[in-house]
Every structure is written in structure tokens, then in C-alpha cells.
Structure 1
Amino acid sequence: MKTILCAGALGALCMNAVAADGASVSVYGLVDVALVRETGGSGGDVTKLTSGVGAGSRLGFKGREELGNGIAAIFLLESGFQADTGALGQGGLLFGRQAYAGLQGGFGTLTAGRQYTPQYLTVVMADPFASGYAGDTKNLMAPTGNSASRMDNSLKYVSPAIGGVSAELVYGAGEVTGDSAAGRQFGGALDYTSGPLRVRLGYHNRNNDTAAIKNAGSAKNTVLAAVYDFGVVKAHVAYGVDKGPNSSLLRNTANPYGRPGTPVASSDSRDVLLGATIPSGPHTWMVSWIHKDDRGALDQDASQYALGYRYALSRRTELYTSIAHIVNRHGASYTVGSAIEGGTGNGAVDVGIRHAF
């Protein structure tokens, strides 16, 4: 066995091991730390040193074993953590980012566990900020109220690409005792790639299981996204439709039905994203505009303007900075966050470093 050993917090780890029978295990990770200034919050401005601004800090284990006849067993375990404090991310879950096992072959890939939803991956593809930094799509358009980015207890199938077209299907059991429909999720995506063009259509449906709206209907999120690489600039565009109870972000505002301070979930909105990525050697500029069109009675629209810059010190290390501002209307109070945090105000600027290994 070929082994590369490293020292770390967990002791001696096998960074890359390949056995004689074709089985392999890799250890990888990312550490992201930044200084962030958030403005416009109800409690005042705040400056903090935090983790996971450009992308969530993580430690992962990825494995593959050849079983013969073109079929392989695969697994992935990915743990998120806070580099500024050492705490576990994703609410303290050991492998809160991803945890799955499955089979891969000419038929495609079938996996079971905690995985990203096809709809969320569609949003990430469209976002010049890749769902991170101050310009993160989750500030306005990712389905935080519905599916978030991952789903537990899920079965996922990804087809092989034929003529540039591939498909994804996912199903997640709600596992609510006495009610098989509550919390149940399903979704899918169609992906088309041809040269510099990539187009992706994603959908997610989740039956609500909270006490207030249990089985009150399903939250549905649909997004159509496209990216075209002109070489000197990459253009990004996306259009999303959010329908049903708890289908979009929570509005941090007074409840119109008489209970001040109670969050209200959007049940009908449209999202539009326009953006660009401009690479030049080690330099990369990112810019985006996102608009949320709230179709509810309060008409709480919002628009986000974001600009970012990355400088590659090497293939694995980069410095970055980004700034974003949200214009809220009619009592909306959307906030500028980052890859793993929601933010406290309608503006933020960050300066950070991240290293992949």
C-alpha cells in the first residue's frame, strides 16, 4: 500500500492511500477565515473574525473500491467546522456537510445518506460567488425556508451524460412517526452542457412538518439557470419560482395577523439573478445583482448588489474580499450573510484567506 502520512489534530492521517485491490481513500479539506464588518443591523454594526465566509471550512474523507464489471462502491464523509473557534458546524453534526455511500457504474451513480439537493446545486452553479462570500445567493434566493442546501435520509440518482444531457433524482423520507407524508422531500434536475454553455433546471418539493403548518401543503422551489463562458468573462443568469408555505426565506418582520415580532414565511415569490465572473491570471472579479419579487400581500421585495475579488497565491491558497448591500422594501429585513452565516444587517464587507488541501 502506498501511503502518505500527515500530522494533524486527529493524529496520523492517511492523506491518500491506494490498496492493491483498487480500493482508495483520500483525505481533503478547506480552511476559510475572514474579518467581517456587518452594518445596518437593528442592534448596531458588528466586526468579527469568523470562519466559512467564502466557503465552509471542512474536513472530508472520500473513498472508492472497484468491484468489477465496471461497478465501484463509493463513500463520502464531510465534516464542517469553525476555524475561528474549533467548533463543529451544521448545528454540531459530526458529518453535517455530507455523509453518504453508494454504487457507481455505467448506469450512473446511486447514493444514500445526507446529500445536496439538485435544486440547490442549480443555484450554486448560477452564482458567481458559488453560494459564499458577502454576495451569497442564500441572502435572498436560496430555499432556506424549504430544503436548505442538504437533505437527510435521502436516496439520490445521477445519470450518465448522453449528448451533454444528464439527470438527477432525489427522494428523502420525512420519518415522522404516524405520518409518512410529513417532512417528505423529492426533487430533481436536468443538466445540459455544450462547450462554453451550461444550462440547468432544478426542482425541489418538501412537505412541511412544523407544528404550525404540518401537512398544510408542500413548499415548491424551481430554478432555471444558465452560465456561458466567453473566455474573458463568464455570464450568469437564473430565474426562480417559490410557491407554497415556507417556500422561501423567513421575513424578520411583524406578523400581519397581529403577533408582532413573529417571523412570517414567504409563500409566493420570484427570484432573478444576473452576474459575471471576470478572470485574469491570478485575479478573479465577481459581480451580481439579485432581486426578490414577493408576490404576497405585504409585497416585501428586496434587491442585493454585490462585488467580490479573489487573488490566487497558489493553486490551493487565495486571498479574497467582497462587499454586498441589500435594499429592503415595504418592511422586509433580509440580511447579508456568507457561506455559513446569515448576517445581522443589510450590508457587509469581508477580507479573508482560504486554503484547500
Structure 2
Amino acid sequence: MHAPHHLALIALLLAAGSAQAQSVTIYGIADLAVEHLTRVNAAGDSIQRMPNLSGSVPSRLGLRGSEDLGGGLRAIFQLESGIGMDTGGLGNGGRFWGRMAFVGLSGPWGTLSVGRMANMTFAAAGIETLGGNLYSNASLDPYIPNARSDNSIGYQGQLGAFSLGATYSLGRDTVNGLGPAATNCAGESADSKACRQWTVMVRYDSKPYGLALVHDRMHGGPGATMGLGSSAYTDTRKTINGYLMLGQTKLTAGALLRERRTATTFESTLLFAGASHPLSPQLTLDAQLSRLDVKSSADDAQLLAARLVYALSKRSAVYAMAGQMRNRGRSALSLSAGATVGMGMTQSGLAMGMRQVF
């Protein structure tokens, strides 16, 4: 066992042993599916696999703790690791605590935290019917499940039914790798714009309906991937997501407007509409239609997905899902998180899996 993993495991065991005295909770989700996916290359071949990034939701292991300081003030912390259940590997660019690692203070005025945390784009994405699912808006914009920021100062507060939130990062991503989970933009340099990021959210929640508005802007930096190799380059997303309850049926809809300014300008609009309905106390049907429209381009894509979830208990469930991604032009977006598809091809997928929450 490598030393960093060894030390982390010791810390985890110590935390478990003192959980009651220090108000520490160990929690997590274990979720894994088996999938059949068509047209994964230009030859039109199919594969069978166990997806690494998600099932019905991404797998994780976390520690959450707090201490009462008196006067309504609490000291808090949270550590959360993403897990690839197919191999036991680490997610989020190989970070041990890649989903969250922060400490903060919480009181009647809200919560102030510092560290690595999910930002406001991630918070608003929870309204999506299939948020976190293997077939979801994450397949059309992989930034959505990776909307987390290193070196951040964050605030969240509540004013009645309204939630307010903001994050500001001094260096949004210190890990170098492939894809949006590790983009090599450490920042914290003399360049006051390099790798900075800020996100803000206003959200309203009531029993019959809710709405969230988010503005998210990230700057590039020297060596940053995803086309953002200069601090003068920016990638901005504006999100509006909402839900409406009609009896037991929950309807969701939203839009994500993106503008990436580098040596050229890229603009796109992601629209979605979904529904979730309980067919019985144990069985729930979820479905969603999403479309990505790239401005001044024929390289668009459309995703249709449905999922059946059967609850075995309050913590355990089995599920089945089906989906289709229609690529147009030179678009090559896979239906399934972390997979591939032939350029311009329509891809279909079927998956079955199990989820256990602890």
C-alpha cells in the first residue's frame, strides 16, 4: 500500500473510532452497473462494460463532522472521495478527497467554508431529473459533474425559501490529466486572473415549485487544458433550472448558456426537460430529453434517456436504464459517461445496476 493511502486509511479508522465524541459521520454510496453500448467507434462496434464514472449516481465515501462552539456557531468539515466501483480506483482526476475537502464555520447567518468544494453550477444541477446518472446532461457537458473548485472560499445562506450561494477560487484546478476532471490550472500566481473562478447562485424552493439561477465564470492560465491556455481566456456558463410538482409527478426543465472566449468564440445552448413519477411505493420512472445546440454549427446533439428504480429498502435499490444519443455533423458525444462514439453517429445504451447508500 502506498504511503499516502496508508495514512489516509489510518485517519479514516481514527475518525471512525472517535465519531461519537467529535460528531463525525461516515457516509457513502456504492453504485455499479453493467452496460451494453453501441457504436463506440467509427466502425460501429459495440461493447459491454462496467462504467467507471457513474451508475444511477456516482459512488463516493465521505466524512462529515461538526463541533458546537456555542451561541449558534459550529465548526464544520467535510472530506469526500469519488470511487470507481469497477476497479476501486479514485475519481475526480485521481484525488483522494476529490469530491470535497473543506473546513468552515456555520451559524444562523449561513455557512462560510474554505478548501475544495462543489461550486454553484453543481448545486443547481441537482434539479435535473437524471442529475448524476450515467445517461444525463453530463454526457452533453462533462463540466457539470466536475463543477468543483480547488482553493475556494464559499458561502451559502438561507433567507426563508431563498438560498444564496457563492464561491471564489484562487486556483480552480491543481491536477493535470485528461478530461474535465483534471485541467492543469493551479493559479495562485502573480497573474491575478490566472485560473481564477467565481460562481453565484440564487435559488427558490417550495413544495409546489422551485427555481435556480447560476452564473459561473472560469479563467484559463498557462498550460491549462480544455483550450484555456491563457488567463485572458474565459469559459462562462449561465444556468436556469426549475421544477414543478403535479401531484406525485415532478417535472423539471432548464437551460445552460455557454460562452467560451479564447482565440475564437464558442457558444452553445443546452436545453432539457424531464419528469419523475412513482409507479408504486417501490418503483419510480424517470425520463429526460436534452438537446445541445452549438451556435453557427451543425455539430449538435440530442439525448433521450429513461430509468426505472426499484427500492429494495430505504437504502438499497436496483435499476435499469436505456438511452440514445443522436450526434449531428462532427459531434462525437457519447451517451455514456466516460465512453466514446463514432463521429456523427447515433449511439444507444442499456444498463442494469444496484445502489446501496450508507
TM-score (norm. length: structure 1):
0.84
Rounded to whole Å, the distance in 2 between the matches of 1:293 and 1:209 is: 27
> Are residues 304 and 271 of structure 1, via their aligned partners in 2, closer, same or farther at CA, if it must alter by over 3 Å?
same
Structure 2 equivalent of residue 4 of structure 1? none
Deviation at 1:317, TM superposition (A): 0.4
1:178-327 alignment runs, 5 A limit: 178-209=190-221, 211=223, 213-245=229-261, 267-279=266-278, 280-296=280-296, 298-327=297-326
Deviation at 1:12, TM superposition (A): 8.1
Structure 1 equivalent of residue 148 of structure 2? 150
Deviation at 1:335, TM superposition (A): 0.8
Rounded to whole Å, the distance in 2 between the matches of 1:354 and 1:225 is: 26
Structure 2 equivalent of residue 5 of structure 1? none
Mapped contact 1:123–1:142 kept (Cα < 8 A): no
Identity in percent:
28
Query: Which deviations, in whole Å up to 9, do the C-alpha atoms of 1:168-219 show, x marking residues without a partner?
Result: 0110012253312111000110011122211111110001225464134311
Structure 2 equivalent of residue 352 of structure 1? 353
Rounded to whole Å, the distance in 2 between the matches of 1:63 and 1:120 is: 22
Structure 2: any 5+ residue segments left out of the alignment?
Answer: 1-9, 172-186, 342-346
AA partner of residue 137 (structure 2): T
Deviation at 1:143, TM superposition (A): 3.3
AA partner of residue 251 (structure 2): A
AA partner of residue 48 (structure 1): R
Number of matched residues? 321
> Are residues 310 and 93 of structure 1, via their aligned partners in 2, closer, same or farther at CA, if it must alter by over 3 Å?
same
Deviation at 1:266, TM superposition (A): 7.5
Deviation at 1:160, TM superposition (A): 1.9
Structure 1: any 5+ residue segments left out of the alignment?
Answer: 1-7, 247-263
Structure 2 equivalent of residue 57 of structure 1? 59
AA partner of residue 229 (structure 1): M
Mapped contact 1:39–1:344 kept (Cα < 8 A): no
Match of 1:123 among 118, 122, 125: 125
AA partner of residue 342 (structure 1): G
Match of 2:167 among 165, 170, 174: 170
Structure 2 equivalent of residue 48 of structure 1? 49
1:4-153 alignment runs, 5 A limit: 14=16, 17-19=19-21, 23-42=22-41, 44-51=45-52, 52-125=54-127, 127-134=128-135, 136-141=136-141, 143=143, 148-153=146-151
Mapped contact 2:58–2:132 kept (Cα < 8 A): no
Query: Which deviations, in whole Å up to 9, do the C-alpha atoms of 1:301-336 show, x marking residues without a partner?
Result: 111111111000000000011111111112211111
Rounded to whole Å, the distance in 2 between the matches of 1:16 and 1:282 is: 36
Task: Please identify which structure carries the higher helix content.
Answer: 2
AA partner of residue 301 (structure 1): D
Rounded to whole Å, the distance in 2 between the matches of 1:266 and 1:311 is: 45
Rounded to whole Å, the distance in 2 between the matches of 1:309 and 1:192 is: 28
AA partner of residue 343 (structure 1): A
Rounded to whole Å, the distance in 1 between the matches of 2:216 and 2:222 is: 18
Rounded to whole Å, the distance in 1 between the matches of 2:261 and 2:351 is: 34
Mapped contact 2:31–2:56 kept (Cα < 8 A): yes
Structure 2 equivalent of residue 336 of structure 1? 335
Query: Which deviations, in whole Å up to 9, do the C-alpha atoms of 1:139-186 show, x marking residues without a partner?
Result: 114536xx9321111111001223x11210110012253312111000
> Are residues 266 and 305 of structure 1, via their aligned partners in 2, closer, same or farther at CA, if it must alter by over 3 Å?
farther
Structure 2 equivalent of residue 3 of structure 1? none
> Are residues 245 and 157 of structure 1, via their aligned partners in 2, closer, same or farther at CA, if it must alter by over 3 Å?
same
AA partner of residue 351 (structure 2): D
> Are residues 324 and 14 of structure 1, via their aligned partners in 2, closer, same or farther at CA, if it must alter by over 3 Å?
same
Deviation at 1:14, TM superposition (A): 2.5
Deviation at 1:50, TM superposition (A): 3.6
Deviation at 1:15, TM superposition (A): 7.8
AA partner of residue 179 (structure 1): D
SS in structure 1 at match of 2:19: strand
> Are residues 311 and 13 of structure 1, via their aligned partners in 2, closer, same or farther at CA, if it must alter by over 3 Å?
farther
SS in structure 2 at match of 1:121: helix
SS in structure 2 at match of 1:14: helix
> Are residues 13 and 215 of structure 1, via their aligned partners in 2, closer, same or farther at CA, if it must alter by over 3 Å?
closer
> Are residues 197 and 265 of structure 1, via their aligned partners in 2, closer, same or farther at CA, if it must alter by over 3 Å?
farther
Mapped contact 2:188–2:194 kept (Cα < 8 A): yes
Structure 1 equivalent of residue 174 of structure 2? none
Deviation at 1:245, TM superposition (A): 3.2
Rounded to whole Å, the distance in 2 between the matches of 1:133 and 1:73 is: 35
